[in-house]
Amino acid sequence: MVNLQTSWEVRTLSQRASEALAGGQLGLTTGYLFAGLAGLAVFLAAMALVLVYAERKIAAHFQCRLGPMRVGWHGILQSVADSLKLLLKEDIVPTDADRFLHVLAPFMSLLAAILVLVMLPMSPALQVADVNIGVLYVTAVSGLGALGILLGGWSSNNKWSLLGAMRAGAQIISYEVSATLSLLVVVLFSGTLQLSKIVQSQADGWWIWRAPGVGLLAFAIYLIASVAEINRTPFDISEGESELTAGFHTEYSGMRFAFFFLAEFINMFVVSALAATLFLGGWMPFHIGGLATFNAAMDLIPPGAWFAAKSAFLIFVIMWFRWTFPRLRIDQLMRLEWKILLPIGFVNLFLAAMAVLFGFYFFPVQ
Amino acid sequence: MIWSKATGTLLFYLFAVVSVALAIATVSSRRILRAAVYLMGVLAVTAGFYLLLGAPFLAGVQILVYVGGIVVLIVYVVMLTRSSDLAEDKPSAARKSTALLAALASFVLAVTVFKSSESAFRGAGSQAATMLIDDTAMIGRALLDRGPRGYVLPFELVSLLLLAVVIGGITLARKIQVDQSAAPKESSDGGVANA
C-alpha cells in the first residue's frame, strides 16, 4: 500500500524556484519563473476560449438552440475566431475620457484575477505560489477588481458607464462581506489560512459535509455572494443591457474590452475553483470511509482531474443560474445582502465557532 | 542566502523610490480621482514593506483594509460628488506653505521616534520580528490574551469604537430617509436609532 498522506506533499513552483536559487542553479530558477509566467499566460488564454465556448453552448442548449455550429466541429473554433476579431479591432478612447485611467482600469481588473489565480492549488504538483495567508490574500486582492471596474466606469465620461460602475461598486462592496464571512467558517474548521493546507485538512472528508450544517450553509452563501461579486446574472445590474447599454465597459473596444471580458471569465473560474478548494476538498479525491476498494479506485484519478472536475461543475452551476433566475433590482439586491445573507452569515459563523470549540464535527482533528 | 539578502535590499530601495514618487504624485495631482489611484499605489507599496519586514499577515490586512476598502470608498465618494472634467483648484501659497510645514513636522517627529528607539529596532525588536514570521495564530492569541503581554483591552476598545461608528452611520442614513417619507414617524424612528 502506498501511503497517500506523504504523496500529497505540496511543492509549489515558487518553492522549486527558490530551492534552485539557493542551490546556485540560476538557469533552473529562470526556467521555473519562465515556466510559471508562460504557463499562466497560456492557461489564461485557453481558459477564456473554453469558457466562452461553454457559455455560448450551454446558453444555447438551455434555450433549445444549437449555438455556434459553423466554425470547426460543432463550432469549437468559434471563440478562436472571435478573439482574433477582437485583436484586430480599433481601440477607441473617448475624447473627454481620462486617458490614463481609461487605459489603466482593464489592466487592474485582469491583474486582480491573475493574482488570485497564482495562489490556486490545482494539484499537489501544480501551484505557482503558496502563502500562509492564502484566504486573506484572496479576499484582499479581489478588492482590486472592484477598483478596476469603478475607474473604468468613471474614466469613460459616459453616464451609462458611471451608473454601471456605481452599481457594480455598491454590489461588490456589499457582497464581499458575506463571501468573507462564509470563507471564515472554513478557516475556523481547518485552523489555517493557507490554501494548500486547507485542501490537506480535507483528506478525511470535505468541509461542506464534515462541518454539520454550517458547512453547507457557508457554501451556499459563498456561492450566492461570489456570483454577485463577479457581476453575473442574476446580479448583473452593473451591465444590465436593457437599461445601461453595457454598463461600465460601454466605452471600451478592442483589446481593452477583451481584458474586461477576460477578467470576467477568469473571475468565474477563480470563484468556482475557490469554492471547490475550500468546501469540496480541492484536489482531494472523493472517499467514503470503510470502502477501501472504492477509495483506492478513486485515488487512481489524478488530483488535477479532481480539481478540474469540481471547478467545471461549479462553473456549470453558475452558468445554470444565468438561465434560471431573472435579474434582481438594485433595492432587492441590497435587501438580499444586508437583511438576509449577512444575518445568516453571522449566525452561521457563530454556530461554526461553537462546533469547532466543542469538536462537534465529523473526524475532529486533535 | 546572499542572493535573498541582496534581493531584499534591492526591493527595499525599489519600493522606497516608488512609494515616495507616488506620494508626491498624490499631493501634486490636480485631478482628484488620479490622486486616489496614486494613493492606492502608496498604500500597496506599504504592504510590500511589511512583506520585507516579515509580516505577511499585516501586509494582507493592509491591502484588504486600505486598497480594497478605503481607496474604493474614496473613489466611490468622488464619483458621487464630482464630474470627471472638474479639477482641484490651484492651492494658494498660504495653503502650500502650511502643508509643507505640517509635512516637515511629521517627518521630524518620525525621525525623532526612530532615533530614540533605535536600540529597540536593532535588538529585541528585530528578534521579535523574525519570531513573528509566518505566525498568524500568534497574532490572534496576542490580540485576545488577557495576560500582561496581551492586547485584549485595546482590541475590545477598537470594537467598541467601530460599533459606535456603525451606529452613527445608521443614524445619519436613517434621518434623511425619515425626512423624505413621513414627518410624524420621525420621533419614534429617531428614538429607535438612538437607543
B61 CB within 8 Å of a chain A CB: yes
A169 CB within 8 Å of a chain B CB: yes
Residue A225 lies inside a defined structural domain of this protein: yes
Q: What is the DSSP string of A120-178?
A: ---BTTB-S---TTHHHHHHHHHHHHHHHHHHHHHHTT-HHHHHHHHHHHHHHHHHHHH
Q: Which three cell numbers stand for residue A45?
A: 488564454
Please indicate whether, in this complex, the C-beta atoms of B71 and A147 are within 8 angstroms of each other. Answer: yes
Q: Per-domain residue ranges for chain B?
A: 1-85, 135-195
**Residue A158 vs residues A114, A154, A250, B85: alpha-carbon distances, Å:** 28, 8, 8, 12
Residue A46 lies inside a defined structural domain of this protein: no
Q: Please tell me the distance from the alpha carbon of residue B153 to that of residue B128, in angstroms, as a whole number.
A: 22
Of A98, A147, A170, the CB nearest to B75: A147
Q: Where are the beta strands (DSSP E) in A9-156?
A: none
Residue A253 lies inside a defined structural domain of this protein: yes
pLDDT of residue B82: 59
Structural domain tally of chain A? 1
Residue A115 lies inside a defined structural domain of this protein: yes
Q: Which three cell numbers stand for residue A358?
A: 466543542
Q: Please tell me the distance from the alpha carbon of residue A245 to that of residue A233, in angstroms, as a whole number.
A: 15
Q: Please tell me the distance from the alpha carbon of residue A56 to that of residue A68, in angstroms, as a whole number.
A: 7
Give the count of beta carbons closer than 10 Å to the beta carbon of residue B151: 17
For residue B54, the chain A residues in CB contact (below 8 A) are: none
For residue B73, the chain A residues in CB contact (below 8 A) are: 173
**Greatest CA separation found in chain B?**
74
Of B56, B64, B78, the CB nearest to A132: B56
For residue B51, the chain A residues in CB contact (below 8 A) are: none
Q: What is the mean pLDDT of residues B175-182?
A: 55
Residue A72 lies inside a defined structural domain of this protein: no
B82 in helix, strand or coil?
Answer: coil
A76 CB within 8 Å of a chain B CB: no
B125 CB within 8 Å of a chain A CB: no
At residue B42, does pLDDT exceed 80? yes
Residue A80 lies inside a defined structural domain of this protein: no
Test mutation, A154, A175, A192, A251, chain B, max B CBs within 10 A: A154
Residue A3 lies inside a defined structural domain of this protein: no
- Structural domain harbouring A163: 89-357
The alpha carbon dihedral of A106, A111, A113, A114 has a sign of positive
Please indicate whether, in this complex, the C-beta atoms of B67 and A21 are within 8 angstroms of each other. Answer: no
**ipTM at complex level:** 0.77
Please indicate whether, in this complex, the C-beta atoms of A154 and B68 are within 8 angstroms of each other. Answer: no
Q: Which three cell numbers stand for residue B163?
A: 460599533
Q: Please tell me the distance from the alpha carbon of residue B98 to that of residue B95, in angstroms, as a whole number.
A: 5
Q: What is the pLDDT along chain A (366 residues), one digit of tens a residue?
A: 333 444 566 667 777 777 777 776 777 777 777 877 888 888 888 888 888 888 888 888 888 888 888 887 888 888 888 888 888 887 777 777 777 888 888 888 888 888 888 888 887 777 777 777 888 888 888 878 888 888 888 887 777 888 888 888 888 888 888 998 999 998 888 888 888 888 888 877 788 878 888 888 999 999 999 888 888 878 777 776 667 777 777 777 777 888 888 888 888 898 999 999 888 888 888 777 777 787 777 777 888 888 888 999 999 999 888 888 888 888 888 888 889 999 999 999 999 888 888 877 776 654
The pLDDT tens digits of the residues spanning A120-174 come to: 888 777 777 777 788 888 888 887 888 888 888 888 777 788 888 888 888 888 8
What fold, for B1-85? Answer: Four Helix Bundle (Hemerythrin (Met), subunit A) (1.20.120)
B1 in helix, strand or coil?
Answer: coil
